Chain A
Amino acid sequence: MAKPVVKKKYTLTERVYLIEIIKGLGLTFKHFVFNVKASFRPGPHTVPTCWQYPEDRREIAPIFRGAHMLMLDDQGRIKCVGCGMCAKACPAQCITVKRGKVAEGEESKYVGKTYPEEFVVDLTRCIFCGFCEEACPKGAIVLGPEYELAQYTREECQLTKEGLLANYYKAKEEGKLKPPKKPVPVAASAEPVAKKAAAAKKAAPKKVEAQGAEAKGDAKEAKAKEAEAKKAEKEQKSEG
């Protein structure tokens, strides 16, 4: 386990410290001159990288994943139907949705038969992965361009429906609403599951299978929910 001994071989220019150091000094001096000149240049960022933050802001991507917002449709109704798909997809479990049934006579106020009575996004838990946005069948919840999320209290970090809508209005005012996402082209047919894996399934012990059955139950529930969401969608279409 002896450590290898390394013999240092230096060329003459390396052996004399000064030559390389002077070269380096020349390089840094070039940067210095360039930057001093550039810092007198007008414009938002004077030296290649520095943004004077609160005054000058970097252009953020139109698809930036910031604080959430709830989208409204053309008639100013919340697109959300309270299906809870976002809450289910969230890895950090930061979304709470309480579904409320639309009372009779108020159908015109909502897009579907149900609506989110309560919609809370806990920003202290959120990891901004954007899965809620992908899961939403209505395109109702969207991660917006807002990134200044510091608050003084925990309560302020809970984005309620009002907060979500405020984010929407703000983004709309600034023209920072996301462009519609291009649909991702999907391959025509699903590849067959590998045979090996199928064989492993047979050989698996019973216990694991039992667990699998349980999980299947879960999956059924999920499927049911999905169907519900689809139903809601259909209903909305028929209404439209």
Chain B
Amino acid sequence: MEVRRPTIEDWDNPGDLVTINIGPSHPAMHGTLRVIAQTDGETIVSAEPEIGYLHRGVEKLGEHLTYHQFIPITDRLNYCSAIANNVSYEMAVEKLMGIKVPEKAQVIRMIMMELARIADHIVCIGILGVDLGAFTPFFYLFIQREEIYEIFEWYNGARLTNTFGRIGGVEADLPEDFEERWRKLLPNLKKAIDETDKLLTHNRIWMDRTIGVTAFSPEDALSWGFTGPCLRACGVKRDLRKDEPYCFYDQVDFEIPVGKHGDVFDRYIVRMIEMEESIKIIDQAIKIYKEFPPDAPLMAKVPKIIKPPVGEVYSAIEAPNGELGFWIKSDGSDKPYRIKIRPPCYMVYQAFPELVQGEMIADLIACLSSLNIIAGELDR
């Protein structure tokens, strides 16, 4: 008989618990997340997330780049919806400088942000399906995401890292065939959402896997600093688009979907409905857009070298994942003194150990996917 060789777990594992190292290289860990889980059989006793595998020093980078040069860096935060990051940052700088963005540019920003929101939710729901074993909806949705990226590409030449907008406006008008493309995409997009709904929502296997899994109370969610779909799934009606409207969100008509239990199913449903609301917003925004003359200004008059006055500013928008805020301190030079990014994922991921405790390994994966943790945004 062979003598069992002691492994490293023998020292730091006193009880009967098994330490399972999930990630950073694991099919379901969304890039580079790592969770060290202590399990009793399949039940998770404790889960300790470890972050920082995708840390690129984005905030520090900002201190060495001019205000304009930082825009492409924000693309790399939540790369699923780069446009929302760009706009959030630009709005912070504009607030700092007191620039009023021309209205047409605001509408364009709004349309693009909602497209980005749909793209982001598509990724989240698709991946959630894949992680729970339903592969097919992923493809139905991703095909439509590809079409959305096509729209982005025809707007300014990039698909994923858009570098959308400039401080004080946007860099280009919507292309002439924009509306045509959107009209062509719309029925397919709706069909894809509908098919995903048909394949998943009422399927008992799906319901068993999601309903009641990692439920969270609204009080806990608020005290952990949840924002976005994860908070709304818990039953708190908080959406910056309605509560602190920017762009033209106060002039369009849309609903905020709210869940009840904050479980995986609610997060999934909230995202599904939000996609449909986004479609509504885009339709209305296109109507507003058409009211502007073609030569309406797209850029405010901004000095070539941006030197905001000394001061600090915090500005946040409702990014697809939640409140994405930029805090910028300026010392009057052409480079920010300090940039602090408030990513929605970071706050949500903090509650992860509490969310998954007592659930099973399969639920940990489902929970992680439904929170939509994006490593780029989390680690920055």
- The answer to A–B direct touch (Cβ < 8 A) is yes
Q: How far is the CA of A114 from the CA of B240 in the complex (A)?
A: 52
Query: Does B283 lie at the interface of the complex (its beta carbon under 8 Å from any beta carbon of A)?
Result: no
Contact of A64 with B157 at beta-carbon distance under 8 Å, contacts A27-B195, A209-B332 already known: yes
Residue interface mask B310-351, A partner, CB < 8 A = 1? 111000000000000000000111110100000000000000
| B172-A128 in contact (CB<8A) | no
Task: Report chain A residues within 8 Å CB of B146.
Answer: 49
**Nearest Cβ on chain B to A17's Cβ, whole angstroms:** 5
Task: Report chain A residues within 8 Å CB of B308.
Answer: 197
Residue count of chain B within 8 Å CB distance of chain A:
74
Query: Does B143 lie at the interface of the complex (its beta carbon under 8 Å from any beta carbon of A)?
Result: yes
B205 touches which one: A17, A65, A91, A127 (CB < 8 A)?
A: A17
Query: Does A28 lie at the interface of the complex (its beta carbon under 8 Å from any beta carbon of B)?
Result: yes
| A4-B198 in contact (CB<8A) | no
| B215-A4 in contact (CB<8A) | yes
Query: Does B241 lie at the interface of the complex (its beta carbon under 8 Å from any beta carbon of A)?
Result: no
Residue interface mask A187-200, B partner, CB < 8 A = 1? 11111111011101
| A185-B99 in contact (CB<8A) | no
| A130-B157 in contact (CB<8A) | yes
| B65-A185 in contact (CB<8A) | no
In the complex, chain B residues 141-166 whose Cβ is within 8 Å of any chain A Cβ: 143, 146, 153-154, 156-158, 161, 163
Query: Does A44 lie at the interface of the complex (its beta carbon under 8 Å from any beta carbon of B)?
Result: no
User: Which of A76-84, A97-105, A166-174, A216-224 interfaces with chain B?
Assistant: A216-224
Residue interface mask B106-141, A partner, CB < 8 A = 1? 000000000000000000000000000000100010
Residue interface mask B171-214, A partner, CB < 8 A = 1? 11100000000000000000000010011001111011001101
**Nearest Cβ on chain A to B96's Cβ, whole angstroms:** 7
Query: Does A5 lie at the interface of the complex (its beta carbon under 8 Å from any beta carbon of B)?
Result: yes
**Nearest Cβ on chain B to A30's Cβ, whole angstroms:** 9
Task: Report chain B residues within 8 Å CB of A208.
Answer: 310, 331-332, 337
Nearest CB to that of B300 among chain A residues?
A187
Contact of A129 with B72 at beta-carbon distance under 8 Å, contacts A23-B198, A64-B153, A185-B296 already known: yes
A-B contact count (CB 8 A): 198
User: Which of A7-15, A149-157, A231-239 interfaces with chain B?
Assistant: A7-15
Q: How far is the CA of A13 from the CA of B337 in the complex (A)?
A: 60
| A8-B212 in contact (CB<8A) | yes
Nearest CB to that of A226 among chain B residues?
B304
Nearest CB to that of A214 among chain B residues?
B333
Task: Report chain B residues within 8 Å CB of A4.
Answer: 215-217, 261-262
Query: Does A60 lie at the interface of the complex (its beta carbon under 8 Å from any beta carbon of B)?
Result: yes
Task: Report chain B residues within 8 Å CB of A27.
Answer: 195, 198-199
Task: Report chain A residues within 8 Å CB of B41.
Answer: none
Nearest CB to that of B200 among chain A residues?
A24
Query: Does A122 lie at the interface of the complex (its beta carbon under 8 Å from any beta carbon of B)?
Result: no
| A48-B143 in contact (CB<8A) | yes
A14 touches which one: B204, B299, B335 (CB < 8 A)?
A: B204
In the complex, chain A residues 102-153 whose Cβ is within 8 Å of any chain B Cβ: 127-131, 134, 143
Q: How far is the CA of A188 from the CA of B99 in the complex (A)?
A: 13
| A5-B215 in contact (CB<8A) | yes
Contact of A204 with B332 at beta-carbon distance under 8 Å, contacts A49-B143, A185-B299 already known: yes
Task: Report chain B residues within 8 Å CB of A211.
Answer: 331-333, 337
Q: How far is the CA of A91 from the CA of B71 in the complex (A)?
A: 9
Q: How far is the CA of A191 from the CA of B95 in the complex (A)?
A: 12
Q: List 19 A-B contacts (CB under 8 A).
A: A4-B216, A6-B215, A28-B136, A48-B143, A63-B157, A91-B65, A91-B72, A91-B73, A127-B161, A131-B69, A184-B169, A189-B301, A194-B98, A200-B312, A201-B310, A212-B310, A215-B335, A219-B333, A223-B305
In the A-B complex, list the 8 residue pairs whose CB atoms are closest, starting with the nearest.
Answer: A215-B333, A194-B98, A6-B212, A200-B311, A212-B332, A91-B69, A129-B72, A190-B301
Known: A91-B72, A194-B98, A204-B331. 6 other contacts (CB 8 A): A6-B261, A64-B157, A64-B158, A181-B172, A204-B332, A215-B334
